[in-house]
Amino acid sequence: MNHLGRQSSAAGPVGGWLLIVALLFQVGSALALEVRVTGDRESGFQLMRDGKPFQIMGVGGTVSLDTLAACGGNAIRTWDAASAERIEHGKSLLDTAHEHGIAVVVGLWLGHERHGFDYGDPAQLAKQRREMEAAVTRLAGHPAILAWGLGNEMEGPGGPGDSPAIWREVESLACRIKELDPDHPVMPIVANVNPAKLAAIQEHAPSIDILGVNAYADAARIGAKLRAAKWEKPYCITEFGVAGPWESPHTDWNAPLEPSSRTKAGQTYVAWQRIMEDRTHCLGSFAFLWGSKQEATASWFGILLPSGEKTPRADALTRAWTGHWPADRAPVLEEVDVPFVGRHVKPGKQFEVLVRYRDPEAAPLHYRWEVREESSDRREGGDAERPPGEVPGAVVAAGSAGHAIVTAPQRPGGYRLFVTVLDGNGSGSTDNWPFYVDTQH
Amino acid sequence: MVRLIPCGLLVAVSALAMASMFGQDFGDHSSQTLTAKAWQSHERGDLADTLAFTAKCRELYAAEAAKQQQSLTDFLPADKGHDPWALNHVGTCCFIEGQALERASRKADAVAAYRRLVDDYGYAQCWDTRGWFWQPAKAAQDRLDELEFDAAVAE
C-alpha cells in the first residue's frame, strides 16, 4: 500500500478528490513491475523484477534507445527525474524505454555542496524534499521504472565523502521514497568508495537498498573494497567505462592523452568483464555515456558520436552483453601516422597525416577532419564544460583514404587534431591527437 | 633449433647482450634498484634499457621470488605487503616488460611477459606512492584480456 492509498479512506469533499487521485494512482501502480532485492551478504544478492531475475546491462543516457535495445542493453539511468519525463515524438522517455523493453533507474537529483547547496539549511532541504516527493508520486506507477537513483555524487567527487549531514538526509529521503513507492528499491549513487564513506553510509543511511558506485579505472576493485569494509548490501556500478582524463597520462602542457577508439573498446569490454566477475553481489552496471558530451574532449566518454552513430565501444558492449558482435560494426583504427602527437610545433608548419580505419563490413568510409583548441574549460565531477572552438583553415586538404594536410595554427597554445570516420550505416569512430603550437620551438 | 627457443628467453638474452654492450648501471644490483631503474627506463621510452633491467632482476631474483610465491595462498595485507620483496619486484618487472613490449608493438612478447607474471608471480604486489598496493598480475590479466579482445576486433 502506498501513502496516497492510505489517504483514500478520508471522508468529505476533500476525501473524495483524494479518492479519485488515489484510484488513478492505484491504476498506475497496478502497471508498475515490482522490483525486489533478494538474498544476503553470505549467499549473494539477486535483483528480481516482476518476479524474474534481472541482471542490469545498462548505460547512462537517454538517447537512441532503439539502438541500445538492438545492442542488447536492458537498462538506462537518468540523472534527474525531468529527463525521465521529457516528451519526445509525443512520448515520455519512460514510455519509449518501456516500448523497447528497457528498464529505467530514475535519477532524483540531490544538491552538491560545491554548487552551493547547504545540507545544514532547512529551507533548501525542504525544497529538495518537496521536489523529490512530487517526482516519485508522479512516476512511481510506471512499468519501466527499475529503481530510484538517489542523487549522483552528492557527497562530492573528491575527499572522504563522509558528511553525516548528507547521509542523514539521504536516509530521510530513502525512507520517504519507500513510503511513497514500496515497489522499487532506493539506490544512492556515489563517486567511488572509501572506508570512511562506507562507514558513514552504514551508520547514517541504513535504509537504502542498493549502493550505486561510479568508478572508472577502479571499477573492478569496488567489490573488494566493499568486502573489506564489511558492506552488507548489494551494489551496482552506475558509471564505468574508460580511464578518465584524471587517470590518464598528460602531455607536458597538461593535456590528457585520450586512448584510441580501439583501445577504449577493449577497456570497456574488460571493465565490464571484471565488474561482472562479482555477480553474486553486483547487480549489474551502467556504461558511461550513451550519447556524447564535452569532458576534456568531445569524445572521451561518448559511446555514441554527437551525430548519433554508435562507436566501437557500443560494439564492445554488445559483445559483452550478448556474446557476439552486432550486424554492423564501427570502423576499426588500424594505423596512425600523425607526426606531431604530443609535440611542440612551429606556427604555420604543415604536416601530412595518415590514419587508416577498416570497416568490418567493407563499407566505404567517410573521413572528417578538424583541429580544435585544447579545452580551457575543465571542470570537476562531470560538470558541463564549454566545447572549444574549431580552428578554421587548419585542415588544408583531406583525401578520401585517411590522408590529410594540416597546418599548425598561428596562435600559440594547445590544440587537437580530430578525425571522425563514418561507415554510412549508423556506425562511426573518432580519435584525436594533441599538439602544442610554440613560437620558441 | 632456434625456433625451439622461447620468445621470452630470446628477449632476455638479447637484453643481456645489449646491457653488456652498452654497460647499464645496475647500481647496487638490489631488486628494488633494478625495478626502479626499469620503471625509469620505460618512462623515457628506452626499450633496451628497460629490458636489460627487468632481465637482470629476474636473473638474480626469480628463484627467491618463486619460493615466496609458493609460500603464499593469497595477497598479503597492506601491513605485510612488502615482506615478499623478491616476488614483488620480479612480478613488477614482468609487468614493466609487458608494457614496454606492448609500446614497441611486440604484442606476442608482451603476452608472454604478462602470462609469466600471471602464472608464476600471481601474489606480487607493488606499492603505489599515493598510498596503496596494487597487484601487477591483475593488471597483467586485464592487459591479456584486452589484447585478446583486440585480436577479436582485428579478425
Q: What is the pLDDT of residue B61?
A: 98
Domains and CATH numbers, chain A: 32-322 (3.20.20.80), 332-437 (2.60.40.10)
**Nearest by CB to B150, which of A266, A274, A319?**
A266
Return the CATH number at B111.
1.25.40
Q: Does residue B3 have a pLDDT over 60?
A: no
Rounded CA gap, B136 and B87, in Å?
11
Q: Do B153 and A270 touch (CB under 8 A)?
A: no
Q: What is the pLDDT of residue A386?
A: 80
Q: Do A265 and B149 touch (CB under 8 A)?
A: yes
Q: What is the pLDDT of residue A403?
A: 95
Contact A4, A22 (CB under 8 A): yes
Q: What is the pLDDT of residue B14?
A: 52
Task: Report yes or no: A265 at the B interface, CB cutoff 8 Å.
Answer: yes
For the entire predicted model, the pTM comes to: 0.86
b/e A344-354 (16+ beta carbons within 10 angstroms → b): bbeeeeebebe
Q: Does residue A226 have a pLDDT over 80?
A: yes
Q: Does residue A27 have a pLDDT over 80?
A: no
What value does the mean pLDDT of chain A take? 91
Q: Do A312 and B153 touch (CB under 8 A)?
A: yes
**pLDDT 10s digits, B19-77:** 445 578 999 999 999 999 999 999 999 999 999 999 999 999 999 999 999 999 999 99
By residue range, what is the domain housing residue B17? 2-154
What does the block give as the cell for A416? Answer: 587537437
Task: Report yes or no: A262 at the B interface, CB cutoff 8 Å.
Answer: yes
Q: Residue A196: which pLDDT band, with cuts at 50, 70 and 90?
A: very high
Closest CA–CA distance from residue A265 to any residue of chain B (Å)? 8
Count of domains for chain B: 1
Q: What is the pLDDT of residue A254?
A: 93
Q: Does residue B13 have a pLDDT over 60?
A: no
Closest CA–CA distance from residue A375 to any residue of chain B (Å)? 26
Average pLDDT over residues A416-430: 97
| B150 contacts on A by Cβ (under 8 Å) | 262, 266
Q: Does residue B1 have a pLDDT over 50?
A: no
Task: Report yes or no: B150 at the A interface, CB cutoff 8 Å.
Answer: yes
Q: Residue A16: which pLDDT band, with cuts at 50, 70 and 90?
A: low
Average pLDDT over residues A180-205: 97
Q: Residue A400: which pLDDT band, with cuts at 50, 70 and 90?
A: confident
Q: What is the pLDDT of residue A247?
A: 82
Helix or strand holding residue B70 (H, E): helix B47-70
**pLDDT 10s digits, A116-136:** 999 999 999 999 999 999 999
What residues 128-147 of chain B have any CB closer than 8 A to a CB of chain A?
138, 142, 145-147
Task: Report yes or no: A220 at the B interface, CB cutoff 8 Å.
Answer: yes
Q: What is the pLDDT of residue A296?
A: 84
Q: Does residue A18 have a pLDDT over 90?
A: no
Q: What is the pLDDT of residue B86?
A: 98
Q: Does residue A170 have a pLDDT over 70?
A: yes
Contact A84, A78 (CB under 8 A): yes
**Nearest by CB to A332, which of B138, B142, B153?**
B153
- Characterize the bridge pairing of strands A52-53 and A44-49: antiparallel
- Judged by DSSP in three states, B3 sits in helix
